[in-house]
Amino acid sequence: MTDPKSTADEAPETEHPGALTHVRADGAVLMVDVSEKAETSRRATAVATVITRDDVVRLLVAGELPKGEALAVSRVAGIMAAKQTSSLIPLCHPLPLSGATVDFAPSGDRVLITATVKTRGVTGVEMEALTAASVAALTLYDMIKAVDKHVVITDIHVIAKAGGKSGDWTHE
């Protein structure tokens, strides 16, 4: 159902500094208009941690989990998820991704997942990197749960971004 108060000709963004960017003055949500933003190269990296048991991580690395080669499947799932972010997160813009990587660093009882996504566009790829890391972690969870019902996914966050008006940023 459409909002009877809105028209296609309305300027959706508020003109008040510090105001919410995805909410009109009348309180309706919107997808921010980025048509006037400059196209730049953009990159974002996000991480997630999967915590299990040492023996499970060894099985994972050896490709010997009951569900098979979990790292390869999780890598593909993360990349596919990055490409579908705008279908999953309501106000995200669909972006032409120029690259996406998902890497794993197993150590002891945990696996650090690092996802990096790149584009040349008018808005950043932080949500795509977060989605890639999250879905890769969820896929590992799914493949590990047969041998460890106590798997934990934690510490999902952006660790770096580059490009755009706000410039480069790294998480401390």
Q: Which residues are catalytic?
A: 142
3-state SS, residue 48: strand
- For residue 39, count other CB atoms closer than 10 A to its CB: 13
Q: How many residues does the chain have?
A: 172
CA distance 12 to 78: 33
H or E element: which one contains 118? strand 110-121
What HEC string does 121-146 produce?
A: ECCCCHHHHHHHHHHHHHHHHHHHCC
CA dihedral sign, ordered 58, 63, 66, 71: positive
Beta bridge partners of 153: 50
